[in-house]
Amino acid sequence: MKIKLYLIGTIIAGVLLNCSVKADYQENFWWNKSWFAKSTSGIEHIITDGYKVTFNFLTDRCVEDVHRDCYYNKLRSQLQSKGGKRIGEPTEHRFSIMKEKSHGTPMKIWELKPFGGDTNTVPTITINNNWINIKTSNDGSDNNIFTQEYYLPPGVWNNFHVKTIQSTNDDGYVIVTMNGETVFEWHGKTSYAHRYINQFWIGPYICCGNAGPNEPNHVVHYRNVH
């Protein structure tokens, strides 16, 4: 009887633990390929439909997770690619995005980030819905940042093309076009030194307590992600 009770208790605990993790983090979220999925709104609010994925970004909740996003006042609903290229290799990325409304706190919608596992790393390219920047130092400060503003029209599909060589030398570059028009261009150092692959992220992200007290919910669609 003791053995049976122990097994039942273990199974229940395992199910509860698994559900709490899956509520906001999945190792293998399938959308045309396997992704890492992270969402403080809950993974169930990332909706796939063929080649389109919709992020229903709910800001009136924060589901605690193993990455402690809630603890650090981060709100996110994102998919992280599992593959990528290393520093020094030419890379191109394409995606189309439609943000249904232009309201609330500015947010990240795409980023390129060295994946260091348990090692802290910061994105080297960040596309926000109103600015684009590169960062060439691995710290949370505003040092070594080049920023350029642009306008993302809401309610329509906007097609992005990112071309880059991630480099710690002067041969690096980042060129971002939206709907065929250049909205960001930088030539020179584009990365800090690291040994990791560069993975890209899609989905809305508001960092570190920047969301307003009455932050509205956001709906963001992506398609044609390459």
Does the pLDDT at position 13 exceed 60? no
pLDDT surpasses 60 at 220: yes
CB contact at 8 A, 168 and 135: no
How open is the CA angle 22-25-28, to the nearest 5 degrees? Answer: 90
3-class DSSP assignment, residue 214: coil
Mean pLDDT of 176-203: 97
CA separation (Å) from 90 to 33, 113, 129, 180, 181? Answer: 22, 15, 25, 20, 21
- The confidence score (pLDDT) of residue 1 equals 41
Question: What pLDDT shows up at residue 3?
Answer: 38
Instruction: Give the domain ranges of the chain.
Output: 25-223
CA–CA gap between residue 9 and residue 16 (Å, rounded)? 11
Does 17 have pLDDT greater than 90?
no
CATH class of the domain at 25-223:
mainly beta
How would residue 72 be classed by pLDDT, with cut points 50, 70 and 90?
Answer: confident
